Amino acid sequence: MAQYADIIEIIAPSEAVSGSRVDITVRVKNTHSAPIGVRVEAALDYGVSPQPAVIFPTDWVNIDAQAVWPFSGYFYMPSQKVTVRAKSFWYGADGAWYADDEMAKTVNVGSSGQPIISDFRIADFIKV
C-alpha cells in the first residue's frame, strides 16, 4: 500500500498488434488528508535497455484528498510481449518528489487477423 499516491489500476488491453498504438490509463488515488501533487511514470519491460517510456502528455497533477485521477498515456507495441511497469510519486513540502507505489500489467502481442476483402468487383468481363 502506498503512503499517499496509491495506484488503483492500470487499464490496458491484454494484447495488441505489433507497431500499433496502445492507449493506457493509470488510475492513482490521493490517500492523504489534503490535496497533493501526484506524478506517474511507466516503462516497457521486454529485455531492451534503456526501457522505453510510456508517453503521458500530462504526467502530474494536484489531486484533492481521497480523489482518484486517471493519467492517460500511450506507447507503440513492440514485436514481443511487454510488461508495463508504472510508478507513482507524491510532491513533498520540501519541493522533492517521493516514489510511492508500483504496479505492473502485461500486454501480449496479438495477430492482425485475417485480411478482409471489403469491396471486390470484376472490372472487365469478356465472354468466350
What is the tens place of the pLDDT at every residue in 46-69? 999 999 999 999 999 999 999 999
Confidence (pLDDT) at 111: 78
Which of 2-6, 16-20, 37-41, 108-112 has the least mean pLDDT?
Answer: 108-112
Rounded average pLDDT over 72-90: 97
High-pLDDT (> 70) share of the chain, %: 86
Q: 65 forms bridges with which residues in the sheet?
A: none
- The model's pTM is 0.84
